[in-house]
Amino acid sequence: MEQMGERAGAIYRALRRAILEQALEPGTKLPEDTIGEQFGASRTVVRRALEQLSSEELVDIRPNRGAAVAKPTPAEARDLFSVRQDIEQLVVRRVCGKLTPEHVARLEEQIANEERAQQEGRQDYIRYAAEFHVILAEMTGSPLLHRYMRLLVGRSALVLGLYGRPQWSNCSVHEHRDLLRALVEGDLERVSGMMHTHLDAVLSRALVTVSEDGERGIREILAPYAQVSAEA
């Protein structure tokens, strides 16, 4: 039973990563047998992973129709970012001027990873950019804020994947670096304004372009994620 839980957890993490990196697009069907074959797991194990993703509103599971990556409507997208604006403001108020040297080092490493992935043209730069916000929430010391931010960031990835790949490479790295500098300096008014502008820009960029990878099969999409899972 414990081994089954560990395997389901590994598949959950791999699928979540694929969603965050927008390899799995909103609406993509997630057949248990295909995923099971890719990861070398039973349908029961895959179902547990899908149920966990469903609890985070990243996957929709419908009777007799199977599972699919969730597909937010435009109205849900705007509501999501409105709520996220409020949560992010609460996060920066709690950490502004209170980051430890260890916190700063971890955030700088995250930004460096994001920048490196972007420069190398790797799609995981999107995940690094998203996780910057999750790490900030974790640093508040509030498990509730951390959990909410994980959910909001995951849903945000669905929005960005559905309504167009975000052109985060245009400015997110320097935006995150500027945010970190202001947080360290304890300039709450500046940080609050920067975070609001940053999220507005992310949503605006998301609604400009159209994703082009809809024709890729789920086996091809999940192959690299299954390899990472096997090596973990």
Residue 89 maps to which CATH number? 1.20.120.530
The verdict on 63 and 24 lying in the same domain is: yes
The verdict on 88 and 164 lying in the same domain is: yes
Q: What is the pLDDT of residue 169?
A: 43
The verdict on 83 and 141 lying in the same domain is: yes
Render pLDDT for 105-143 as a digit per residue (tens, 0 to 9): 999 999 999 999 888 888 788 888 889 999 999 999 999
What CATH number is attached to the domain comprising 25?
Answer: 1.10.10.10
Q: Which domain holds residue 80?
A: 74-206
The verdict on 29 and 106 lying in the same domain is: no
The verdict on 65 and 79 lying in the same domain is: no
Confidence of residue 1 (pLDDT cuts 50, 70, 90): very low
Q: What is the pLDDT of residue 152?
A: 92
The verdict on 63 and 82 lying in the same domain is: no
The verdict on 112 and 175 lying in the same domain is: yes
> 232 or 100: whose pLDDT is higher?
100
pTM of the model: 0.77
**Average pLDDT, rounded, for the chain:** 85
Q: What is the pLDDT of residue 212?
A: 40
Mean pLDDT of 210-224: 59
Give DSSP secondary structure letters for the chain.
-HHHHHHHHHHHHHHHHHHHTTSS-TT-B--HHHHHHHHT--HHHHHHHHHHHHHTTSEEEETTTEEEE----HHHHHHHHHHHHHHHHHHHHHHTTT--HHHHHHHHHHHHHHHHHHHTT-TTHHHHHHHHHHHHHHTTT-HHHHHHHHHHHHHHHHHHHHS----GGGTHHHHHHHHHHHHHHT-HHHHHHHHHHHHHHHHHHHTTS----TTS-HHHHHHHHHHHHHH-
Q: What is the pLDDT of residue 131?
A: 92
Q: What is the pLDDT of residue 208?
A: 53
Mean pLDDT of 159-178: 68
Split into its structural domains, the chain has a count of: 2
Confidence of residue 74 (pLDDT cuts 50, 70, 90): confident
Task: Flag the least confident range among 32-36, 107-111, 136-140, 167-171.
Answer: 167-171
Q: What is the pLDDT of residue 103?
A: 97
Q: What is the pLDDT of residue 231?
A: 57
Q: What is the pLDDT of residue 187?
A: 92
Q: What is the pLDDT of residue 223?
A: 74
State what percent of residues in the chain have pLDDT above 90. 53
The verdict on 143 and 124 lying in the same domain is: yes
The verdict on 139 and 181 lying in the same domain is: yes
The verdict on 43 and 147 lying in the same domain is: no
The verdict on 28 and 43 lying in the same domain is: yes
The verdict on 26 and 92 lying in the same domain is: no
